[in-house]
Each structure stands twice: as C-alpha cells, then as structure tokens.
Amino acid sequence: MRFLARRLGFYLLTAWAAVTLNFLIPRMMPGDPVDLLVARLKGNVDPAAIEAMKQAFGISDANLWVQYVDYLGNLFNGELGRSITFFPTEVTTIITGALPWTVGLVGVATLISYLLGTLLGVLAAWKRGSWLDGVLPVSTFMHAVPYFWVALALVFVFGVTLRWFPVSRAYGLDVVPAWDGPFVSSVLYHAALPAITIVIASMADRILGMRNVMVTTLGEDYVVMAEAKGLTSRRVMWAYAARNAILPNITSFALSLGFVVGGSVLTEIVFSYPGIGSMLLKAVENEDFPLMQGIFLVISLAVLVANFLADLAYVVLDPRTRQEA
C-alpha cells in the first residue's frame, strides 16, 4: 500500500500547509487585522471581542515561533477561537452546526454529478456520431458557467416564475427538525434547486473528461480484443472500455473538487442555504476573521479527505496501484 501511504503523507503535508497559511496570512497581509477591524467599525466594537480576536490570532508580542507553536497547540485542542459575528460563540460550534448541511448538499450533488457525467461521457464516446454528440457543445458552454449564475437562473425560472421550488433556507418554516417524514421531505424539497445547480455546473467537466479518455480507450487493443471475443456491446463498453477510462478521470475529478467546493460556497449563498458557504459570506461581511479562517481550514480539510477517498477508490479500481514494490 505504498501508493496510499505516499498519498496520505502528501495530504498531511498539505493539511499542515493549509494550517500554516492560515497562521501566516493575517501576519503577512499589510496592516494588523484587529486594527483594521476596529477602524472599519469606527470603534463600535465590544472590547471583549477585540480581545477575543487578538487571542484568536494569537497576535502578541511574543516572537513568531512562540505564536506559531501556541497556534498549533490551540488547533490540536480543536480551538479555532471565537466568532466576532456571533460573539461569544466558538467558531467550532458554528462550523459544526453548518457543516452537515454543506456535506449533505455538496456531497450528494457531487456524487450525482459524477455518476451522471461519467455515464453521459461514456455514452457520448460509445455512440459517437449519434444525437449524443449534441451533448458536447452544451458541455463546452456549461463548463465555464459560474455556479452562482446557474443558481440565479434556476431561482428565476423554477423559483420565482414557475414557483415549483423554494428558493431559500434548508427546510420550511412549518416543520421542526426531527427525523420524521415531513421534515426530511421538506429538506429534500429545499435542497432540490441548490443540488441541481451544483450538478449542472459541475457535470460538464465530467462529461467532457470522460468522453475524451473513453474515446482514446476505445482504440486500445484490449477493447478491440474484447470485441473480437464476441462479448456483448454492453460488456465491452463497461467492463473493458469504461472500466479503464474511469481511472484517469478519478484523478481529474479529485483535482476539480476544490473548484466544485468553491462553486458550492457561492451556490449556498444564492439560496441562503445554512451551510458553510453562507457562514463564510456572513464572516466576510462582518470582517469576522476567526470564523473566516476556521471555515477555510475546514473546507480545505474536507477537500483533502475527499481527495483521499478518491485515492481509495482508485486503489480499489486499479490493481496496478496495489502492487507491492
């Protein structure tokens, strides 16, 4: 399992880099963030909040190393400081409240988009010359569409004009959070448009990527041989061609995750979805640096975990990575 060990090592290194960036950014940017905040709010800040911020940043007169060690120590204890916006709530508390919504929405939508995009890509390559070629120009256009613009368009058409779907919040005002039918269906109903946004905006990359690799794979000898073996088209397409074409696509999918997450942040904002993305906007609007940084850290770690899951999938699907070297 050297492959996985190497990847894991890389992710740990990246996590450390994210943590360190988080530490360095406030110190390297021009001006002291606390002073900046005080200046912007023209003194209308709770002194306790200022103190909390200083603490959160670990900004003190101690030298940078001591600050860094303190900062890492706090992180290991799961302390991300206190939010300014929701003072004195801990940043971790806010994130823990918002994270499930985001993980649920973005996770499910990304999965759907991946499966659907891969399927369409495979079919578009397999049935070259059929009506499925029409998928290509649409995908070419869609692959650079801003997520939030898709969100706005969907809200306009299906929310405001047709009134088929709710356009904000995660569940209706008429239900209380509980594991029961009305609540769950309300959640699903509310998640429909944001999820469709993410699926539409992120699917084009999958379609195009899968199609291109698949077309190349179809020319491989093992696909020609599968055909020569008299296997059914379905088996040649899936067990031989797609099964191999999927591998490079997992890698590019993993690399695109950061982009998908970025787009999802903006999507949440359009729908006032109570996830991490909307929290990030609140943090930004209120110059709530501790919350902002905490969210960045959590998003980064989530992307790393997702990348590692993609690596696991790769190992399961490609026997060559399992070779003990």
**Cα–Cα distances in Å, from 225 out to 33, 221, 241, 318?**
64, 6, 11, 20
Return d(Cα 29, Cα 26) in angstroms, integer.
6
DSSP 161: I
3-state SS record for 204-217? HHHHHHHHHHHHHH
| Cβ 16 to another protein shortest distance, Å | 9
| Cβ 36 to another protein shortest distance, Å | 6
| Cβ 171 to another protein shortest distance, Å | 21
Does 53 contact another protein by CB under 8 A?
A: no
Residues 6+ apart with CB under 8 A from 61: none
142 or 195: whose CB is closer to another protein?
Answer: 142
Return the range that interacts with another protein (CB under 8 A); candidates 6-14, 58-66, 78-86, 187-195: 6-14
Tell me the one-letter amino acid at 304.
Answer: L
**Cα–Cα distances in Å, from 295 out to 144, 154, 173, 277?**
25, 27, 27, 8
Does 36 contact another protein by CB under 8 A?
A: yes
Return d(Cα 322, Cα 248) in angstroms, integer.
16
DSSP 86: T
7 or 82: whose CB is closer to another protein?
Answer: 7
* Binding map of another protein across residues 268-297, x = CB under 8 A, - = no contact: -xx---------xx-xxx-x-x--xx-xx-
Does 261 contact another protein by CB under 8 A?
A: yes
**Cα–Cα distances in Å, from 2 out to 37, 303, 325?**
48, 22, 8
Return the range that interacts with another protein (CB under 8 A); candidates 20-28, 78-86, 88-96, 188-196: 20-28
Choosing from 34, 203, 218, 250, the residue that interacts with another protein (CB under 8 A) is 218
Tokens of 225: 């041989």
* Total residues in contact with another protein, by rule CB under 8 A: 92
Choosing from 99, 136, 175, 315, the residue that interacts with another protein (CB under 8 A) is 136
Q: Which of residues 150-189 bind another protein (CB under 8 A)?
A: 152-153, 155-156, 159-161, 167
| Cβ 75 to another protein shortest distance, Å | 16
Q: Which of residues 57-86 bind another protein (CB under 8 A)?
A: none
Return d(Cα 169, Cα 166) in angstroms, integer.
8
Choosing from 44, 174, 219, 325, the residue that interacts with another protein (CB under 8 A) is 219
* Binding map of another protein across residues 87-106, x = CB under 8 A, - = no contact: --------------------
Closest-CA residue to 263 (of 133, 139, 130, 142): 142
Does 113 contact another protein by CB under 8 A?
A: no
Does 131 contact another protein by CB under 8 A?
A: no
Tokens of 279: 């929290």
| Cβ 177 to another protein shortest distance, Å | 27
- Using left for φ > 0, alpha for ψ between -120 and 50, and beta otherwise, residue 23 falls in alpha
DSSP 173: T
Does 1 contact another protein by CB under 8 A?
A: no
| Cβ 51 to another protein shortest distance, Å | 20
The single residue listed with the structure tokens 């070297």 is 325
| Cβ 121 to another protein shortest distance, Å | 12
Choosing from 86, 172, 220, 252, the residue that interacts with another protein (CB under 8 A) is 220
Around 68, how many Cα atoms within 13 Å sit in the side-chain half-sphere? 11
